[in-house]
Structure 1
């Protein structure tokens, strides 16, 4: 496959949930990759650290750190790994967040195996109108989540898109069993936790699963609350249209989550036992 074939549009990965809320969380990368603007180049794992992994590309091939250097971007050592539980795993969404600010979108994106984190729904309605994903403590869970290595400017830009509803917190790699595709351990990473808590399933009292079909989620919430349906209904399409256009409606809908008794006040990720 040539670099011309690696465009996000050709790969079907150019979707931007911020612009099309019912597509949230978007399609994630499924293999180690280097996002470079509108392209997603294969990144091949090898021992010796992420900076030594090799990038495919007719004009941009070679060790990752060398490729980043040719692009005028910081090497891996000058970046911070950030775990995505929602749309930040989507290259289209991440590129949108960066390029709309005029920032370079050269970002290594790698699926990483880890434990202790479940993916639920943040107990708020976001600016785009959707109910975004949020992590919660789940000691028995083993999952694969995308980790992006962001430089300082990129990290500040992504932080700004998450505040005030999320906080970025560090997680130690040994406690969460973070393992790279090379088999090497990741020593730690950041993750955004919800400052609002996570939504509970009223039937079980457990966190409601997040990161799936957004329209189905919103329809379920509307069916469960006549007040929410009156505010944002009758369906998921009307929900995102109304919520995206009106900050007051978003705030009122967020308050209704709590009034319905759906909110688990889980705003931290304590270290897993053992």
Structure 2
């Protein structure tokens, strides 16, 4: 897919760090405004109209026409999927699709959501980090990123989330048909408050806090966050042992 504007590449814009390859950068940089991830570019997207069929890529025309020119499905054939973690990062999405040689053509739009907050899944993922997970929180409002995925892209993202997460419809959403991934492990409690531990922040700080709360985790994976992600990513056995220790704190 040919580049049309080198100033809009992920590298030029500073969105090229992939959390799967650099676990302590999890969850990565989310798109701050409506964007079209197209190959190695992140193009501005005018998504002011509620109907995606009317969205445009400034300087390039209607979004559906841009997607068609790239040989990709238009918006009517796509599923909107809400991201609470690294799937809001264009670098992570591009990486997940790229490893399967799928075309990288994904509209990504921040959306204000009520009733959902972001916690920490009560498990250690295959890349060594403790990923984010949503939980119900009446009265909470957050801006989260929605990616519009075609069928092949949706299967690819599913493969990176299952079996630790399941994809489900979001009830009472402002966007018809929106889906999100819910952790099969539940979310971690904050031992100081009993409430869900906030997720989606700085991974090194989270791992440091988890080891401070659990000498057993520190002994297993520490003493530093760098040690944690290196060892956990290399060993399914250590991930399983660490997950058991995390869940011993009583996930919600």
Q: What is the TM-score of this pair, normalised by structure 1?
A: 0.89
1:262 paired with 2:241, answer no
* Structure-1 residue corresponding to 2:184: 195
How far apart in 2 are the matches of 1:48 and 1:19? 35
* Structure-2 residue corresponding to 1:32: 34
Give 1:60-209 correspondences, 5 Å limit.
61-172=60-171, 175-176=172-173, 178=174, 186-209=175-198
Q: 1:213 pairs with 202, 206, 209, which one?
A: 202
DSSP-derived class of the 1:198 partner: coil
DSSP-derived class of the 1:199 partner: coil
8 Å contact kept, 2:31–2:88 = yes
5+ residue gaps, structure 2, are none
Q: 1:6 pairs with 4, 8, 16, which one?
A: 8
How far apart in 2 are the matches of 1:48 and 1:159? 26
8 Å contact kept, 1:166–1:192 = yes
Residue 106 of structure 1 deviates from its aligned partner by 0.1
Q: Deviations over 1:231-254 (max 9, x none)?
A: 001010100000000000000000
Residue 109 of structure 1 deviates from its aligned partner by 0.2
8 Å contact kept, 1:202–1:262 = no
Instruction: Sort the Cα spacing of 1:155 and 1:223 in 2 relative to 1 into closer, same or farther, 3 A.
Output: same
DSSP-derived class of the 2:166 partner: strand
Residue 48 of structure 1 deviates from its aligned partner by 6.2
5+ residue gaps, structure 1, are 179-185, 265-274
Residue 156 of structure 1 deviates from its aligned partner by 0.2
How far apart in 2 are the matches of 1:33 and 1:93? 15
Report runs of 4+ in structure 1 exceeding 3 Å deviation: none
Q: Deviations over 1:102-142 (max 9, x none)?
A: 00010000001110101000000000000000000001101
* Structure-2 residue corresponding to 1:16: 18
RMSD, aligned α-carbons: 1.1
Of 192-201 and 40-49, more deviation after overlay is shown by 40-49
8 Å contact kept, 2:123–2:247 = no
How far apart in 1 are the matches of 2:90 and 2:247? 32
1:251 paired with 2:252, answer no
How far apart in 1 are the matches of 2:144 and 2:97? 21
Residue 40 of structure 1 deviates from its aligned partner by 0.4
Q: Deviations over 1:172-221 (max 9, x none)?
A: 3xx23x2xxxxxxx223000000000000011110000000000000010
Instruction: Sort the Cα spacing of 1:64 and 1:219 in 2 relative to 1 into closer, same or farther, 3 A.
Output: same
Instruction: Sort the Cα spacing of 1:231 and 1:192 in 2 relative to 1 into closer, same or farther, 3 A.
Output: same
Residue 53 of structure 1 deviates from its aligned partner by 1.0
Instruction: Sort the Cα spacing of 1:152 and 1:231 in 2 relative to 1 into closer, same or farther, 3 A.
Output: same
DSSP-derived class of the 1:120 partner: strand
How far apart in 2 are the matches of 1:138 and 1:214? 22
